[in-house]
Structure 1
Amino acid sequence: MKKLALFDLDHTLLAIDSDYSWGVFTTQIGWTDPAEFKQRNDEFYAHYKAGTLDIHDYVRFATDAARLQGAEKSIAAHADFMRSMVLPAITPQARALVRQHQDAGDMVVIVTATNDFVTRPIASELGVSELLAVELARTQGVDGQPGWITGDIHGVPSAREGKVTRVAQWLAARGLDWGDVDITFYTDSINDLALMEKVNHPVATNPDERLRAIATERGWRILDLFQKLT
């Protein structure tokens, strides 16, 4: 039986929330109005923690600045974001945990509710090629150039129960089903309860208060990998 290690990203492998932090970063570089953006970003983040987030509304909001700035400026800004905010939030403990599974021959996949524009470079930095993120719809490219993000979501968003669907699709694309793999899943969030209940080995990692209570009640492993940052 193949072994599969699934990782949530934000506050699980990464000591920050990358989506929230990208929003903060775009405000710092003058792409958004600081007061207005912070208010809306904080509201969406509160809904996320409460499990009541409308993912489509949030993605339109979270990607609007990059959509308006265009691909070239956004890609350059993301490189600065990686250096200033992401790399300091990747701890040795997180890197070691990923390597542990890779060295054991496990298939390693990051499954995140943050969009692929923000998270693809982070997954690469962690040495993980398989990423199931919220896929952003893009315009039709012209003159051989790729299109740019529209603010909409392509396909099933990898959020809440959607993570179960996306993992099932990933397995099916490789001729596998749930019964063909032994899955360990690391996450900090109550939003991922559906996937935790589906896998063989759920690990509540840096868990929020509600997930910690459920993990304790059900006898799931609890891993405090690092101190969460903003």
Structure 2
Amino acid sequence: MALVLYDLDNTLLAGDSEHAWCEFLVDAGVLDGEDARAENERLYGEYEAGTLDIHESLKFQLEPLIKHPPEALRRWRKEFMSSRIEPMITDAAVDLVEGHRDAGGDLAIVTASNSFVSEPIADRFGIPSLLSVELEHHQHRYTGRVLGTPTFREGKVKRLVEWMRKTGRNLAGSHFYTDSHNDLPLLELVDNPVAVNPDPVLGAHAEAREWPVLRLDGGASGRPA
């Protein structure tokens, strides 16, 4: 089976899951609204510009996971999935996943979002393999430390290669779908790179390399040919 890899945010989702999680926590009164929103926007802008320090971003994202007990986090995450993530899931994105599943693809998400946020989203899509920023636990609480290399930029390639070696997979016939120029290292590695709702930098690169460009805006099917 050929690997079919998906970025998560602004690719399978019509939005960014970690950005939305912060907004949800602000609206729920868990985070201070003014300061948290400003930092959330600053970090997201740096991500879009390709200048993000992933460790600085993780420190911000993991703070509420460290401070609050697991039962509260699970309750908030359930509410977050229904109120914020479900509206981000388009028919076109579901079609894209189901088309490759029907064709016998080996499906995996490779995302820079942390595992706490991304695991239930992978489950929602029925995608069995998830490579995300893995978080350390101690006595059922998050420590704020990351396990291994964060799945960001070149880190996605490193983690993917480690996972393939461990599981006996390879990139023969592989696909990768993403919206972001931050994912160019992985796009250059697979056999079938696809730009999905691409940002301007990725869009220009895809045009120059004659890569397919897919729009998952809910208006057309994302099923592969």
TM-score bracket relative to the smaller structure: over 0.9
Alignment pair present for 1:60 and 2:59: yes
CA–CA separation in structure 2 for the residues paired with 1:222 and 1:158: 23
Secondary structure at the aligned position of 1:137 is classed as strand
How far off is 1:81 after superposition?
Answer: 0.3
Residue 146 of structure 2: which of 148, 153, 159 is its match?
153
CA RMSD of aligned residues (A): 1.0
Alignment pair present for 1:102 and 2:95: no
Asked whether the 8 Å contact 1:12–1:206 carries over to 2, the reply is yes
Structure 2: which amino acid aligns with 1:81?
Answer: F
TM-score normalized by structure 1? Answer: 0.92
CA–CA separation in structure 2 for the residues paired with 1:56 and 1:134: 11
How far off is 1:107 after superposition?
Answer: 0.1
Look up the match of 1:144.
none
Asked whether the 8 Å contact 1:56–1:152 carries over to 2, the reply is no
Alignment pair present for 1:226 and 2:225: no
Structure 1 stretches of 4+ with a deviation exceeding 4 A read none
CA–CA separation in structure 2 for the residues paired with 1:96 and 1:148: 37
Secondary structure at the aligned position of 2:156 is classed as helix
Look up the match of 1:69.
68
Alignment pair present for 1:125 and 2:124: yes
How far off is 1:175 after superposition?
Answer: 2.1
Asked whether the 8 Å contact 2:111–2:152 carries over to 1, the reply is yes
CA–CA separation in structure 2 for the residues paired with 1:102 and 1:175: 20
Instruction: Report Cα offsets for 1:43-91 as digits up to 9, x if no partner.
Output: 1111111111111111111121132112110010000000100011101
CA–CA separation in structure 1 for the residues paired with 2:170 and 2:137: 30
Look up the match of 1:171.
164
Asked whether the 8 Å contact 1:59–1:152 carries over to 2, the reply is no
Look up the match of 1:33.
32
Alignment pair present for 1:195 and 2:194: no
How far off is 1:215 after superposition?
Answer: 0.2
Asked whether the 8 Å contact 1:188–1:204 carries over to 2, the reply is yes
How far off is 1:177 after superposition?
Answer: 3.9
Asked whether the 8 Å contact 1:6–1:109 carries over to 2, the reply is yes
Look up the match of 1:90.
89
Secondary structure at the aligned position of 2:174 is classed as strand
Secondary structure at the aligned position of 2:173 is classed as strand
How far off is 1:182 after superposition?
Answer: 1.5
Look up the match of 1:213.
204
Asked whether the 8 Å contact 2:181–2:199 carries over to 1, the reply is yes
Structure 2 residues without counterparts, runs of 5 or longer: 219-225
| Alignment size in residue pairs | 218
Structure 1 residues without counterparts, runs of 5 or longer: 142-146
Structure 1: which amino acid aligns with 2:200?
Answer: E
1:43-58 correspondence runs (5 A): 43-58=42-57
Percent same amino acid among aligned pairs? Answer: 42
Asked whether the 8 Å contact 1:132–1:166 carries over to 2, the reply is yes
Instruction: Report Cα offsets for 1:123-182 as digits up to 9, x if no partner.
Output: 10011110000001222x2xxxxx22122211011000000011111111122344xx21
TM-score normalized by structure 2? Answer: 0.94
Look up the match of 2:222.
none
